[in-house]
Amino acid sequence: MLKKYEYQSLGKAELQQLVARNTDPNNSIQEVVQDIIQQVRVQGDSVLREYAAKFDKVQLDKLFLNEEDIDELATTIHRDQQRALEIAFQNIHRFHSTQLKRERTVETMPGVKCWREIRPIEKVGLYIPGGSAVLPSTLLMLGIPARIAGCKEIVVCSPPQSNGKINGFVAYCLKLLNIKRIYLVGGAQAVAAMAFGTQSIPKVDKIFGPGNQFVTKAKSIIQGLTNVSIDMPAGPSEVLVLADETANPAFVAADLLAQAEHGIDSQAVLVATSNALVDAVNIQLETQLTVLPRKELASKAIENSYAVIVSNLQEAIQFSNEYAPEHLILETDQWESLTRHISNAGSVFLGHLTPESAGDYASGTNHTLPTSGYARSYSGVSVDSFVKKITFQHINETGLQQIGSTVEILAELEGLHAHKNAISIRNK
């Protein structure tokens, strides 16, 4: 059952504690991850095999599967499953293909033209989580915008299964994306391998993908250690469901459990306008949990989750913006009047018939989103995440005359006379 809190009774300190999640107060995760990163940096492939034996319980002869292996595994899934992946691919591609737009040239003053041009990041690394659930949908969410952007090299890492391979669903997604190799490495060690490169795994320029707290910490550390960037801190999954008297308690419970089943460190938060609604949702949670194959994981996640009771929808949005959820679901008839007040959220799902799971798989939007409050400053993955935008400018004779004195004056007042001379020497 969800623990209950009254929003109006929360002090500032208690509120801040309530919205905090996935913290590492004793730096225990950081210490483990720093050691893994150093081991991979020094030992490369050999320690990756050791980690596969330790964490994935598999002895690997090689750290990758090639095109032939992928083709064989892709044939092991049924045609209806292949078709579902194809539909998801098409919808995700259709949504993301609109994001690659050429910007117009701006003449800031006569003879001075400025513009930006898009260039793909050449080498990107995609981390596809494994563990208790292997996520082919994440491969589509990362691989499709990378392909649209035109990245020249796409390196994919995912933990091996007990047979030393990947499942057929991931393999079929690799075929859809025309990716001919996948590296059998998971966890923080996969992030380190892509950041530094090993004997088998190429070094990349940017690393993408969600993961547990160890993966998230590894991405943060790598960004500080190297010139490799990351998409965002995307850790354990979370959802905030905002519900009022128009909500169906069964729908609300289903949406909370859809996140809770990811793992025990996932969080499902209900913000409700009445105590009675929370009680009804708790009854539904107990009922629906009994039939879930992953009920033990989901139950533990629900134990770490909670409900906040608010007086009205305005208070609900206030709390949501403070929490800054990865996924925000508005289960109210009044959702249209609320959207303009949302300032912090990764992805928003509107109305009673828009479950978050639709966005996880096939509606078209991206499910790789900022967690742990990072929605205050990060966006979810898009085609923009896979490109750089380089500025260009061209000045002709008229432009130099127009802008010259301005630059000379500004350079001189800053005491940078060589800057001034770069203009003056051209105007003689």
Binding residues for Zn(2+): 259, 262, 360, 419
Q: How far apart are CA 235 and CA 373, in angstroms?
A: 11
User: What is the Cα Rg of the chain in Å?
Assistant: 25
Cα→Cα distances 16→260, 293, 319, 333, 414, Å = 22, 34, 11, 29, 44
* Closest listed residue to residue 326, CA positions, set 261, 266, 281, 272: 266
> Encoding tokens for residue 343?
């300032």
Cα→Cα distances 172→69, 93, 207, Å = 11, 16, 22
Which residues participate in the annotated binding site for NAD(+)? 127, 189, 212
Q: Could you list the active site residues?
A: 326-327
* Closest listed residue to residue 319, CA positions, set 16, 4, 2, 1: 16
Which residues participate in the annotated binding site? 127, 189, 212, 237, 259, 262, 327, 360, 414, 419
Contacts of 114 (CB under 8 A, 6+ apart): 105, 106, 108, 391, 392, 393
46 contacts 149 by C-beta, under 8 angstroms: no
> Encoding tokens for residue 262?
């990811």
